[in-house]
Amino acid sequence: MTILMYNKRWKIFTFILLLSLISSNVSLTGAEEDFDYDITYVLSNDHIAAGGDLAVSINLTGRYIADGPYSLDKQIEAQVELLLDGVRIGEGTVPAGPMEIIPYQEITISETIPGLVPPGTTVGVHELVVRSRFNALGYNIEETETFSIEVLEVASSGGPMEPYLYFSLSPLQMYFDSTSTLTLRVFNPNDSSMSTEVSLYSSSYGYESAIGSYEISLEAGGAEEIRRTFKLVDNDIGELCFIARLDWYEIDGERFHCQCESRQCAEILNRPSLRPNITFENYSDLGDGYFIADMILSLDNATEWERSLIVDELNLSIALPEELLIVEGFVEYHQTVRRDLTMTIRVKGPLEEYYNTRGLLEGTYVFGDPDETVEFTYPFMIPSTDTVRETLGLGPLMDGGQDDGSRGSPNLGITAFLIGGLSGGNNMDGMNEIFSYIDQLFQ
């Protein structure tokens, strides 16, 4: 069931993510339930000399709304074309994944697609269409965004122009063990072909290390993409940038020197978010009208990036109904935490007496520099007496009959009605029951 649910989520997310990538005005019912996003297209300039260059930036910021993370295992791409009066003047791809998609974590994907206005373009207003296509996973989607640009007179030739470097990291946010895709797009703004060599480096705290070097040949107005996917394996890193450098380029056999450099830094995430989970296991009948069980408390790194966190101080307290006693474990807990935390607390409870089925875990944790304190409250259900008895092979508690709503969870009246259904019932009476419950809930 879980797999099916995640498959569905994955499909929905992937669909919306890529649709978002390639659409500026998409409107999907329910899209916000899975991927809350905003997308913009930005044209670099709308007055361009014939023979000049332009670029369109596609910027997406969004958040995945779900209970758990999802791993997008392979890279998928949207193809983007720039069409001036229907003629292609630039193209590129926008990658998504592979990446771990973390609920509620902001994702930023930004790519810039350059293009060259042909030298022979007539002066006046022209239509520039950004056409985005995605064809994978059973979807074949095409979206367009239209701009008006004014083409000016042919710019006077000022000699060969240096190649342009467009750098992007998708997603921009990185955390320990996460993957992001680096794209370097080298663009030749000249009306002659060009060759060059570009070197990539990573940089952290001023220390650079080479990633690779690439020889590139570019047609007039052409662009070449270099794409690498990186995983962040250092959990103490707080700064990470990528640098592309280009020292020379050749046009028509003539070599020109340049100090061309582009830099793209990752946004390193380090905010922790511990998520508690409590389960009950290993029930045993003590034989004196009591049972004993393990209450397993775990503070899960539900998201991988949280493994990079160091919680300087964790304070926990557990409140149980008075009938339930802690016989081994803690009621108050204070400790520094560096990884997932799992604790077993032995609890003892009555088998012959009903008790309130709710407990409360409250806590704070401190992290970061300067300190930041996060408070959390986690109400959790304790198995009812009858559930415990059933687990132990005992019959339901007969004393006092079945639950009358006055014990256990205070909402049994409302849920009995709700679960019982509307058919044959009087909804006015049902609503009065709900009103009683609402009184209890908010008083």
When binding is defined by CB under 8 A, the residue of 136, 319, 392, 431 that contacts other proteins is 431
Region from 229-237, 246-254, 284-292, 376-384 binding other proteins, contact rule CB under 8 A: 376-384
Specify the residue, 207 or 442, whose C-beta has the smaller distance to other proteins: 442
Work out whether 421 is an interface residue with other proteins (CB under 8 A).
yes
Q: Give me the residues paired with residue 316 across strands.
A: 333, 363
394 CB contacts (<8 Å, ≥6 apart)?
A: 285, 351
277 CB contacts (<8 Å, ≥6 apart)?
A: 297, 298, 299, 300
Specify the residue, 218 or 295, whose C-beta has the smaller distance to other proteins: 295
Work out whether 441 is an interface residue with other proteins (CB under 8 A).
yes
When binding is defined by CB under 8 A, the residue of 357, 361, 363, 365 that contacts other proteins is 357
Specify the residue, 30 or 206, whose C-beta has the smaller distance to other proteins: 30
- Report in angstroms how near the CB of residue 331 gets to other proteins at its nearest: 22
By CB under 8 A, the count of residues binding other proteins is: 30
- Report in angstroms how near the CB of residue 414 gets to other proteins at its nearest: 8
Work out whether 419 is an interface residue with other proteins (CB under 8 A).
yes
| 8 Å CB contact between 86 and 146 | no
- Report in angstroms how near the CB of residue 185 gets to other proteins at its nearest: 39
**Rounded Cα distance, 391 and 152, in Å:** 82
Work out whether 373 is an interface residue with other proteins (CB under 8 A).
no
251 CB contacts (<8 Å, ≥6 apart)?
A: 160, 190, 192, 193, 194
- DSSP code string of 417-434: HHHH-STTS-HHHHHHHH
Specify the residue, 25 or 423, whose C-beta has the smaller distance to other proteins: 423
Region from 249-257, 273-281, 296-304, 422-430 binding other proteins, contact rule CB under 8 A: 422-430
Work out whether 418 is an interface residue with other proteins (CB under 8 A).
yes
Give the distance between the most distant pair of CA atoms in the chain: 98
Work out whether 439 is an interface residue with other proteins (CB under 8 A).
yes
- Report in angstroms how near the CB of residue 313 gets to other proteins at its nearest: 22
Please state, in angstroms and as integers, the Cα–Cα distance from residue 381 to each residue in 16, 95, 280, 397, 402, following that order.
35, 43, 10, 19, 19
Specify the residue, 122 or 377, whose C-beta has the smaller distance to other proteins: 377
When binding is defined by CB under 8 A, the residue of 238, 379, 396, 400 that contacts other proteins is 379
Please, what sign has the CA dihedral across residues 418, 420, 421, 424?
Answer: negative
442 CB contacts (<8 Å, ≥6 apart)?
A: none
Q: In this structure, are strands 47-49 and 139-152 parallel, antiparallel, or unpaired? A: parallel
| 8 Å CB contact between 32 and 13 | no
Work out whether 410 is an interface residue with other proteins (CB under 8 A).
yes
How far from each other are the two terminal CA atoms of the chain, in whole angstroms? 38
390 CB contacts (<8 Å, ≥6 apart)?
A: 396
As a residue count, the chain comes to 443
Specify the residue, 132 or 357, whose C-beta has the smaller distance to other proteins: 357
- Report in angstroms how near the CB of residue 372 gets to other proteins at its nearest: 18
- Report in angstroms how near the CB of residue 381 gets to other proteins at its nearest: 5
What CA dihedral angle connects 18, 21, 26 and 29, to 10 degrees?
40
Work out whether 381 is an interface residue with other proteins (CB under 8 A).
yes
Work out whether 220 is an interface residue with other proteins (CB under 8 A).
no
- Report in angstroms how near the CB of residue 439 gets to other proteins at its nearest: 7
**Rounded Cα distance, 66 and 62, in Å:** 13
When binding is defined by CB under 8 A, the residue of 25, 377, 399, 402 that contacts other proteins is 377
- Report in angstroms how near the CB of residue 293 gets to other proteins at its nearest: 17
Specify the residue, 109 or 316, whose C-beta has the smaller distance to other proteins: 316
For other proteins, the binding residues (CB under 8 A) are: 357-358, 377, 379-381, 409-412, 414-415, 417-423, 427-428, 430-431, 434-435, 438-439, 441-443
